[in-house]
């Protein structure tokens, strides 16, 4: 038997109050009414933003996204939900569904807002300088918004600023000497972006590990140093022991630039080594791989 609420209406089957169910269903119908030429619903980038009602807490997508980013910057993506964003804006959760249909749409909007912070290189820059500029500025954006790295490399980023970011990569290579073939351009851009995602995620993972443990990288290295000394003394890892003992240990920014230059050397059609390397590859010890006998 179907239960009814106190007003005699049909009870909710979702756990939400019936009035909220009706409001959400109405907002969803409004969103579904806006469709593309093939009859499918428009993505959030193309859907017109509803006109906000006159309330003490006015809303628009920009306010919603900025509030969500503030939550994520403070406490990570686990702190982001439509309900928490609504509370931060002093608005009812159901009002947000008029602007953002799902949490996934909200995450897409947040990612695109960060891409808007990444300014393109100068038009006259050569392809190598342009790619280094884009990579460096993307890394800086990820360090400002660590959660951004968690959303890279997964579902496609199709917002207008994300597309402009990708366009800048492709445009930097298209037509450059040795990059006349579009497949070569595509592959080169894919390799550079793969390096960027991997390097940024690794750096942010180390930052998070430091915060979680309360130990700095050097403190963790000192703690594991005696163990590695004993393992290397077995003679089973002679090459690794030499690398750990003799390699330089640059800061994260230098490590990132060195790796990027090595990659750009590899995709350079002319085979030039135009990277600004110091002459030594940064294979220094990671967060749990100290140089035995060194003080960190």
HEC profile of the chain: CCCECCCCCECCCCCCCHHHHHHHHHHHHHHHHCECCCCCECCCCCCCCCCCCCCCCCCCHHHHHHHHHHHHHHHCHHHCCHHHHHHHCCCCHHHHCCCCCCHHHHHHHHHHHHHCCCCCCCCCCCHHHHHHHHHHHHHHHHHHCCHHHHCCCCCCCCCHHHHHHHHHHHHHHCCCCCCCCHHHHHHHHHHHHHHHHHHHHHHHHHHHHHHHHCCCHHHHHHHHHHHHHHHHHCCCCHHHHHHHHHCCCCCHHHHHHHHHHHHHHHHCCCCCCCCCCCCCCCCCCCCCCCCCCCCC
pLDDT for position 29: 44
pLDDT for position 28: 46
How far is C-alpha 149 from the geometric centre of its chain's CA atoms? 3
Residue 222's Cβ-count burial label (10 Å; 0-12, 13-18, 19+) is middle
pLDDT for position 38: 65
pTM score, two decimals?
0.77
Whether the CB-CB separation of 50 and 99 falls below 8 Å is answered with yes
pLDDT for position 39: 63
pLDDT for position 223: 87
pLDDT by position in tens, the chain (length 296): 444 443 344 444 445 444 444 444 444 444 445 665 666 778 888 888 877 665 666 789 999 999 999 999 999 999 999 999 999 999 988 989 989 999 999 999 999 999 999 999 998 899 999 999 999 999 999 999 999 999 998 778 899 999 999 999 999 999 899 898 899 999 999 999 999 999 999 999 999 988 888 888 788 888 888 999 999 999 999 999 999 888 888 889 999 999 999 999 999 887 655 444 433 333 333 434 444 444 43
Whether the CB-CB separation of 117 and 161 falls below 8 Å is answered with no
pLDDT for position 247: 85
Q: How far apart are CA 44 and CA 48, in angstroms?
A: 8
């Amino acid at each position: 038997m179907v239960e009814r609420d106190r007003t005699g209406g049909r009870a909710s089957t979702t756990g939400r109050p019936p009035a909220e169910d009706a409001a959400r269903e109405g907002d969803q119908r409004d969103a579904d009414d806006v469709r593309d030429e093939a009859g499918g619903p428009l993505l959030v980038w193309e859907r017109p933003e509803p006109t906000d009602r006159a309330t003490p807490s006015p809303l628009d997508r920009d306010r919603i996204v900025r509030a969500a980013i503030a939550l994520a910057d403070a406490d990570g993506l686990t702190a982001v939900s439509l309900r928490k964003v609504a509370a931060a804006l002093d608005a009812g959760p159901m009002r947000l569904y008029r602007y953002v249909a799902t949490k996934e749409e909200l995450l897409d909007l947040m990612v695109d807002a960060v891409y808007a912070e990444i300014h393109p290189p100068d038009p006259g820059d050569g392809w190598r300088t342009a790619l280094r500029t884009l990579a460096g500025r993307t890394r800086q954006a990820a360090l400002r918004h660590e959660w951004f790295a968690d959303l890279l490399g997964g579902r496609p980023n199709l917002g207008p600023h994300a597309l402009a970011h990708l366009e800048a990569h492709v445009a930097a290579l298209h037509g450059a000497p040795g990059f006349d073939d579009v497949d070569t351009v595509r592959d080169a851009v894919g390799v550079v972006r793969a390096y960027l995602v991997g390097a940024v995620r690794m750096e942010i993972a180390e930052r998070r590990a430091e915060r979680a443990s309360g130990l700095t990288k050097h403190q963790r290295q000192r703690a594991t140093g005696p163990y590695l000394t004993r393992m290397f003394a077995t003679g089973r890892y002679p090459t690794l022991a030499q690398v750990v003992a003799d390699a330089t240990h640059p800061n994260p920014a230098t490590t990132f630039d060195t790796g990027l230059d090595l990659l750009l050397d590899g995709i350079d059609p002319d085979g030039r080594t135009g990277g600004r390397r110091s002459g030594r590859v940064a294979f220094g010890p990671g967060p749990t791989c100290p140089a035995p006998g060194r003080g960190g």
